[in-house]
Amino acid sequence: MKLVGISGALSGEKTSLAVNDVLVAAQLQDSTIQTELIDLREYEIEFSVGAPLADYNDDTWEVVTKILSADFLVFGTPIYQASISGALKNLLDHFPENAFKYKVTGIVATGWSNKHFLVPEYQLKPVLSYFKGLIPTGNVYIHNDSFNEDSDEIIDRSVSERIQKLAEEMIYLQRGINNR
Ligand SMILES: Cc1cc2nc3c(=O)[nH]c(=O)nc-3n(C[C@H](O)[C@H](O)[C@H](O)COP(=O)(O)O)c2cc1C
């Protein structure tokens, strides 16, 4: 099984590190799982205008294709203005309906306010559901205080445990889908 993580932040490190932690946790649980991190800082994704995928640049084509060929996915977003990042929403705009059918689609989000912990539930979950993704119950919201200020590593044990549980649940659900 291949698990692809997408970090929807274009500036900081936190979202990318959190998504990577899910990939590492998944590999620790099952070493046969292949993982790949797609960090949107490393790609020039074009704005979606509803054109066929072949009309966009190579980066857009590569990222969309990698995501479509993954068995399951974990999406990371920083909270921007009480919503998901524009970069992640633009990427999602490139996908066809049913893009995530039979794929588990986990969520991690980072933010400076705990008041926005339901933003991923209300704003990212419906979009992933629209694409027929199966969303785990254990999505993870991470306050900035849970990161080390200098290294940006996660220093809050309870957050690391939730990430581990999310990886466990995602693997469990994806195996169930594959054995249906
Ligand atoms: C333009 C902008 C808007 C933001 N809006 C919010 C917000 O509404 N709620 C919140 O909790 N954090 C907000 N933040 C804080 C980021 O979500 C937070 O710092 C996050 O951890 C950044 O992730 P990164 O290090 O991957 O870039 C905002 C940050 C920026 C730059």
d(CA 164, CA 170): 10
Alpha carbons 151 and 147: distance in angstroms, whole number:
8
Whether ligand 1 lies within 6 angstroms of the CB of 144 is answered as yes
Residue 43, pLDDT score: 98
* Most ligand 1 atoms within 8 A of CB, residue of 6, 16, 84, 112 to mutate: 112
Which atom of ligand 1 lies at the shortest distance from residue 147's CA? 21
d(CA 86, ligand 1 centre) in Å? 12
Q: Give the model's pLDDT for residue 71.
A: 98
**Which regions of the chain are under pLDDT 70?**
none
Handedness of CA 44, 2, 93, 51 (dihedral sign): positive
- In the chain, what are the domains? 2-178 (3.40.50.360)
148 CB within 6 A, ligand 1 = no
pLDDT at residue 152, rounded to an integer: 87
Give pLDDT tens digits for 112-161: 999 999 999 999 999 999 999 999 999 999 999 999 999 889 999 999 99
d(CA 116, CA 96): 28
Ligand 1 centroid, distance to 171 Cα (angstroms):
29
Q: Is the CB of 167 under 6 A from ligand 1?
A: no
What distance in angstroms lies between residue 149's CA and the mean position of ligand 1's atoms? 15
pLDDT tens per residue, range 111-124: 999 999 999 999 99
Kindly report the length of the chain: 180
